[in-house]
Amino acid sequence: MHRVSFRTFPRLLTGLALTLTIVLTGMSGPAQANSTSPSASRSELVIKAATHQKGKPYRWGSDGPRSFDCSGLVQYVYRKAGTKIGRTSGAQLAGKHVRKHSKRKGDILIFLHGGYAYHSAIYAGKGMVWEVQRTGTRVGKHKIWSKGYVVRRPRGNFSGSR
């Protein structure tokens, strides 16, 4: 039989406690992402609000709820998701700059020509955007049609899935 001295007893207890902690926490299964986090739910709300506008017509200067121009749609959708942003494509440039390869669902794509912001849309993931382009078109989900854009994310706690 082995004798345990008083000097090794605290080490033995610490080791036992550490082993139990590892074993018991490992039994609960793999860690799950928190799907109810405020940032994840915000991007989901943006995409959901955009989806609900599908089919509504373009009207220059309109910011909803029956018709939209491009930046009016983006502003309306963000407002529905609880975030205030600028009304025009130029004002929507004020968000946090995001590299194109780091864009996430719910980010704003602002299309530029000669440094001028002329169109904005909401990134839907997989190379698609929610947008309304011009007279005679309706809100819809389309492929990104130009490389001449920048990505913005409204300031604050916002992220989403890619």
Are 92 and 108 within 8 A, CB to CB?
Answer: yes
pLDDT at 3: 55
CA pair distance 157, 133, nearest whole angstrom: 29
The ranges assigned to domains in the chain are 38-153
In this structure, what token pair is assigned to residue 51? 């989806």
Q: What is the tens place of the pLDDT at every residue in 126-155?
A: 999 999 999 999 999 999 999 999 999 998
pLDDT at 36: 37
14 SS3 class: helix
Question: What percent of the chain shows pLDDT beyond 70?
Answer: 71
Look at the pTM and tell me if it is higher than 0.85.
no
Q: What is the tens place of the pLDDT at every residue in 77-100?
A: 999 999 999 999 999 999 999 999
What value, to the nearest 5°, has the Cα angle with vertex 38 and ends 128 and 84? 70
b/e sequence 46-65, b meaning 16+ C-beta within 10 Å? bbebbeebeebebeeebbbe
Mean pLDDT, residues 18-40? 40
Domain at 38-153, CATH homologous superfamily: endopeptidase domain like (from Nostoc punctiforme) (3.90.1720.10)
pLDDT exceeds cutoff 50 at 29: no
Q: Which is it for strands 128-131 and 140-143: parallel, antiparallel or unpaired?
A: antiparallel
pLDDT at 158: 46
**Three-state SS sequence of 100-113:** HHHCCCCCEEEEEE
Across the chain, mean pLDDT equals 82
Within the chain, residue ranges assigned H as helices are: 9-26, 38-51, 70-80
CA pair distance 20, 145, nearest whole angstrom: 56
User: Phi/psi of residue 139, each to 5°?
Assistant: -60, 130
